[in-house]
Amino acid sequence: MTNKYPIFLASEIEQTPIEQSAFSVLPVPYEKTVSYSGGTAKGPLTILEASEQLETWDGKSNPSALGIHTCDVVDCTVEPDQVIENIANAVTKILKAGSMPVVLGGEHTVTYGVIKGYLDAGITDFGVVQIDAHADLRDAYEGDKLSHASVMKRLVDLDIPLYQLGIRAFCEEEIATRAKHGVYFQDADELVPNNIQSITLPESFPKNVFFTVDIDGIDPSVFPSTGTPVPGGLSWYQTLNLFESVAKQRNIIGFDIMEYAPIEGFHAYDFSAALLTYKLMGIVERNNLKT
């Protein structure tokens, strides 16, 4: 599928070959199982367009100096199983080139394809840290096992260690799944009222971490631009600080930004999503990619 999307930070940098790039931005405009309002398929393009308004200096460093490659958009016009394979193949290509995947969704189901790409590339010793409003641990939602509400269940079924942050919407089935699979968590009702800015991962948690950020994990006062907003979420700086606390303890091997659904005419949220993506690159650059 030909890439018709702009490159990340196009107004400031040239496209860097993937083999020379610390970060490879992968747009995945997949939307099939959203359960309230839609729009996540427009998220990747909108974030890339908004990134043209960013400065290369993120306030602390210039992560773009390490090279950013924007990959071809993943073909999401096929059947769901093939979409997952397409995502996995694209992620595997990035990893084999020695670059770090930065994936822009799309509904959260995309993360399953991303993780499959790591496994297909032979990378198996890692855990996942998740910022989200929802646990996404249902075995199926409305009969669909490839649902955004089931994506984390697919991961724990693969015995991938999981740490959840900011969850505030879940059902009894998901509570039982947490217990069965030993899922670590600090929910929003603990993190937000107590203004907790960092976590300490268990010693047993893998040294390599993939970090997945569902935009609805952040409070709707910051990001109402998502399909399933839930009040009581993380603040902007709390989100960045929690991410950095993980980066200081473990090696971040990639991250994604999921479930961004643009609101027409409200460009502030588009810019914020692009800035969040770049801020996370900066945190990884300063903590995990030092030479």
Q: Which structure tokens are listed for 70?
A: 């924007």
Average pLDDT taken over every residue of the chain: 95
pLDDT at 2 over 60: no
Say what the pLDDT of residue 144 is: 74
pLDDT for residue 33: 58
Domain hosting 267: range is 18-288
The answer to whether residues 132 and 216 touch, using CB atoms and an 8 Å cutoff, is yes
CATH code where residue 87 lies: 3.40.800.10
Q: In what order do the strands lie in the sheet with 23-28?
A: 68-70, 23-28, 100-105, 251-258, 208-214, 127-131, 162-165, 184-186
- β-strand pairing of 100-105 with 251-258: parallel
Ramachandran angles phi, psi of 82, nearest 5° = -75, -35
Task: Give residue 3's pLDDT.
Answer: 56
pTM: 0.95
Digit-coded pLDDT (tens) for 115-136: 999 999 999 999 999 999 999 9
Q: How many folded domains does the chain comprise?
A: 1
pLDDT tens string 63-92: 999 999 999 999 999 999 999 999 999 999
Q: Is the pLDDT of residue 34 over 70?
A: no
According to the model, what pLDDT value does residue 145 have? 75
Q: Is 258 helix (H, G, I), strand (E, B) or coil?
A: strand
**Residue 245 domain-assigned (yes or no):** yes
3 domain residue, yes or no: no
pLDDT band at 25 (very low <50, low <70, confident <90, very high): very high
Residue 150 included in any domain? yes
In a domain, residue 230? The reply is yes
Q: Which residues pair with 141 in a beta bridge?
A: 144
15: left (phi > 0), else alpha (psi -120 to 50), else beta?
Answer: beta
Q: Give the pLDDT band (50/70/90) at residue 146.
A: confident
Which pLDDT tens digit goes with each residue over 172-208? 999 999 999 999 999 999 999 999 999 999 999 999 9
Q: Looking at the domain assignment, is residue 4 inside a domain? A: no
258 assigned to some structural domain: yes
Residue 81 belongs to what H/E stretch? helix 80-96
Q: Is the separation of the CB atoms in 105 and 189 below 8 Å?
A: no
